[in-house]
């Protein structure tokens, strides 16, 4: 072997060694590295699973991000003595319109409890929420795409790419993380560092330039009355946010939640009584560790309500 061939052989060995180290390093990062703050592939699988309309559930929870981040169906199921299936059909900035409520009802068994647990937020009756852009975005995706995201993405989620920002935020303890539960429609979430006022100003600015829709509130009432006649058991609740957030919402909305509570009671529809919480990470959403405790409370109240 001459010197030129020897150099070429050594170069190939060096390149091969670099490739092996790189591949092993990537595998170590993917399977043994720090948990991603928010895995995009699991997020896609999570939302795709919401659009499956198999009528297999006894209880369906519906509402906005406070609902899908705040009420854990698995905790509710555990509180019932008999076997009960529960699903969280919450979407970001969801408006409580007829389309969303109809889709939620499609997940309920035709017999049995037929219970719709509706998380009522003031924001659900404002113009932006009533567009239901997040829900419609997923509703209109092709069925093949939804199938792939539901069935394949959970198994491939470890391959979801890391961003340098993930490692940076992990090192500085400054991150927003989400643990997706596609089978139940629930997300454990938290934002570090916790700032219970971070959502206040954006909401205030929005409320100052728009108005709560009286038409949407009346349509919601009419839809509840219709569903009750159709044999659905309806229970309403206001998912906790901070004291500051609730006070601001009531101020700008004309106390719409209390008005709704009075009017729905005339229809024979009950509310689970809730109070503002000190345990939010932004003033609007419950800290992940608080959601199980709140879900236990909701389940117990729901059991009492259904036994009446």
Whether the CB-CB separation of 246 and 276 falls below 8 Å is answered with yes
Taking only the tens place, the pLDDT of each residue in 295-307 is 999 999 999 988 8
Q: Which CATH architecture has domain 35-306?
A: 3-Layer(aba) Sandwich (3.40)
- Mean pLDDT over 213-239 rounds to 96
> What pLDDT is stored for residue 13 in this prediction?
59
Mean pLDDT value of segment 9-32: 51
User: What pLDDT score does 31 carry?
Assistant: 42
Average pLDDT over all residues of the chain = 86
Indicate if the pLDDT at residue 27 is higher than 50. no
Top pLDDT among 23 and 58 is at 58
The helix, strand and coil proportions of the chain, stated in percent and rounded to the nearest 5, come to 55, 15, 35
Q: How far is CA 170 from CA 46, 235, 281, in A?
A: 23, 40, 17
pLDDT band of residue 23 (cuts 50, 70, 90) is very low
Q: Give the model confidence (pLDDT) of 88-105 as tens digits.
A: 999 999 999 999 999 999
> Is 50 exceeded by the pLDDT of residue 139?
yes
Express each pLDDT in 232-264 by its tens digit: 999 999 999 999 999 999 999 999 999 999 999
Task: Name the pairing type of β-strands 186-192 and 175-181.
Answer: antiparallel
Q: What is the pLDDT of residue 38?
A: 61
- Alpha-carbon Rg of the chain, whole angstroms? 24
Q: Per-residue confidence at 18, pLDDT binned at 50, 70, 90?
A: low
Spatial separation of the C-alpha atoms in residues 45 and 75, rounded to whole Å: 21
Residue partners of 163: CB distance under 8 A and separation at least 6: none
pLDDT at 70 over 60: yes
Across 96-123, average pLDDT: 95
pLDDT digits 0-9 by tens, 143-201: 999 999 999 888 776 665 544 445 444 555 667 888 999 999 999 999 989 999 999 99
Q: In this predicted structure, what is the pLDDT of residue 155? A: 78
């Amino acid at each position: 072997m001459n010197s030129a061939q020897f150099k070429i052989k050594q170069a190939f060995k060096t390149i091969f060694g670099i490739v092996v180290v790189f591949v092993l390093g990537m595998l170590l990062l993917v399977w043994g590295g720090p948990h991603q703050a928010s895995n995009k592939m699991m997020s896609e699988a999570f939302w795709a699973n919401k659009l499956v309309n198999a009528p297999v559930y006894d209880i369906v929870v519906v509402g906005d991000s406070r609902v899908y981040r705040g009420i854990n169906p698995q905790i509710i199921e555990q509180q019932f003595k008999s076997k009960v299936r529960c699903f969280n059909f919450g979407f970001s900035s969801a408006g409580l319109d007829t389309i969303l409520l109809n889709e939620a009802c499609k997940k309920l068994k035709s017999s049995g409890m037929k219970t719709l647990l509706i998380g009522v937020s003031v924001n659900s009756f404002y113009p932006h929420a009533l567009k239901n852009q997040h829900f419609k975005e997923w509703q209109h995706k092709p069925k093949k795409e939804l199938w792939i995201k539901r069935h394949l993405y959970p198994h491939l989620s470890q391959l979801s790419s890391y961003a340098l920002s993930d490692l940076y935020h992990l090192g500085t303890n400054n991150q927003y993380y989400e643990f997706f539960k596609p089978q139940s429609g629930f997300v454990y979430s938290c934002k570090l560092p916790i700032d219970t006022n971070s959502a206040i100003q954006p909401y205030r600015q929005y409320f100052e330039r728009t108005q709560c829709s009286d038409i949407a509130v009346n349509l919601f009432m009419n839809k509840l009355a219709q569903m009750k006649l159709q044999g659905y058991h309806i229970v309403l609740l206001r998912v906790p946010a901070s004291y500051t957030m609730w006070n601001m919402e009531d101020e700008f909305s004309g106390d719409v939640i209390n008005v709704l509570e009075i009017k729905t009671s005339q229809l024979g529809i009950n509310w689970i009584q809730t109070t503002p919480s000190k345990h939010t990470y932004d003033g609007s959403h419950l800290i992940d560790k608080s959601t199980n405790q709140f879900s236990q409370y909701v389940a117990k109240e729901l059991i009492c309500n259904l036994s009446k």
